[in-house]
């Protein structure tokens, strides 16, 4: 296994130690939290009894394959613990998410969660957010205008494309990846973007993460808010 993958595995697997019998657990999306879900599947086979709330269709599929019992956010409106990945993390535990396109459901589930743990490899930890283009979910209607409005905030918006076609989220919307030079005030930027008509949700997560588990070459670092 290449080093980066190994660091993702370390962080992802470590997170299962916070999952206790009887919990309702939000299941994030991506290649790091995949390791959490695989490990959780083993624990479920050994008798751990939890309900998983998936943040995407891809995670729902994987969790089902692993034999994890699933529920929906409508039935479980308070979630005990969510484990998810991130594209960037700063030292205040602000996050950029949405590289995998699941940011809307991820944010709804983070908001419903009593505790949110983020699992990343060390390359994701930054002093200032913004290297990673900020994913923003927008409705299809008037998307070119919405992109132009976003550009007035100082970013270069690019419509996300997959296999030669506009990428469509699980909710039927587009994603625009917005490259800022740096994001010095994530809370302020999050509010400004959310105010734009046509924006469904932005991949800035401020004040939602309680703990970040960082897989490093020599150890695992735990950052806590
Ligand atoms: C999906 C996400 C992912 O959590 C994020 O993109 C990190 O994914 P990975 O662990 O594959 O790097 O926000 O919307």
Tell me the pLDDT tens digit for each residue of 131-190: 999 999 999 999 999 999 999 999 999 999 999 999 999 999 999 999 999 999 999 999
99 assigned binding-site residue? yes
Catalytic residue among 13, 60, 88, 106: 106
d(C-alpha 26, C-alpha 68), whole Å: 12
Confidence (pTM): 0.97
87 assigned binding-site residue? yes
**Any atom of ligand 1 within 6 Å of the Cβ of 88:** no
Is the CB of residue 87 less than 8 Å from the CB of residue 96? yes
Is the CB of residue 120 less than 8 Å from the CB of residue 110? no
Partnered with residue 138 across adjacent β-strands are: 174, 199
Mutate which of 28, 62, 87 for ligand 1 pocket (most atoms within 8 A of beta carbon): 87
Read off the pLDDT of each residue in 88-109 and give the average, rounded to a whole number. 98
What is the average pLDDT score of the chain?
Answer: 98
At 119, the pLDDT band (50, 70, 90 cuts) reads: very high
Output the CA 199–ligand 1 centroid distance in Å: 20
CATH 3.40.50.1360 residue window(s) in the chain: 1-122+206-224
pLDDT tens profile 50-82: 999 999 999 999 999 999 999 999 999 999 999
Contacts by residues 157-164 (CB-CB < 8 Å, ≥ 24 positions apart): 158/133, 160/101, 160/135
3-state class (DSSP) for residue 205: strand
CATH class of 1-122+206-224: alpha beta
CATH 3.30.70.260 residue window(s) in the chain: 134-200
Output the CA 176–ligand 1 centroid distance in Å: 15
Quote the pLDDT of residue 139: 98
Task: Kindly tell me if the per-residue pLDDT of 1 is higher than 90.
Answer: no
Task: Kindly tell me if the per-residue pLDDT of 107 is higher than 90.
Answer: yes
**Any atom of ligand 1 within 6 Å of the Cβ of 116:** no
Query: What are the residues whose beta carbons fall under 8 Å from the beta carbon of 150, sequence distance 6 or more?
Result: 136, 157, 176, 178, 193, 196, 199
CATH number of the structural domain 134-200? 3.30.70.260
Annotation says 106 is catalytic: yes
**Any atom of ligand 1 within 6 Å of the Cβ of 103:** yes
Q: For residue 120, give the ligand 1 atom closest to its CA.
A: 10
Output the CA 89–ligand 1 centroid distance in Å: 12
pLDDT tens profile 83-96: 999 999 999 999 99
Burial of residue 34, with CB atoms counted within 10 A of its CB: 0-12 exposed, 13-18 middle, 19 or more buried? buried
């Amino acid at each position: 296994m290449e080093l980066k993958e190994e660091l993702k595995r370390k962080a992802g697997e470590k997170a299962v130690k916070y999952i206790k019998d009887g919990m309702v657990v939000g299941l994030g999306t991506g290649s790091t939290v995949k390791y959490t879900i695989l490990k959780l599947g083993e624990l479920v086979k050994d008798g751990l009894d939890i309900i998983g709330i998936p943040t995407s269709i891809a995670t729902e599929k994987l969790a089902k394959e692993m034999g994890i019992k699933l529920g929906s956010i409508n039935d479980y409106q308070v979630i005990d613990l969510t484990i998810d990945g991130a594209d960037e993390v700063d030292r205040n535990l602000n996050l950029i998410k949405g590289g995998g396109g699941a940011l809307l459901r991820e944010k709804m589930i983070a908001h419903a969660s009593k505790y949110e743990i983020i699992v990343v490899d060390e390359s994701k930890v930054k002093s200032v957010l913004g290297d990673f283009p900020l994913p923003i979910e927008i409705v299809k209607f008037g998307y070119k205008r919405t992109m132009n409005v976003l550009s007035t905030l100082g970013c270069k918006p690019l419509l996300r494309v997959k296999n030669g076609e506009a990428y469509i989220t699980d909710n039927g919307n587009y994603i625009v990846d917005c490259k800022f030079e740096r994001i010095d005030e994530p809370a302020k930027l999050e509010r400004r973007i959310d105010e734009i008509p046509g924006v469904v949700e932005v991949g800035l997560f401020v004040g939602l993460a309680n703990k970040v588990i960082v897989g490093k070459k020599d150890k695992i670092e735990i950052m806590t808010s």
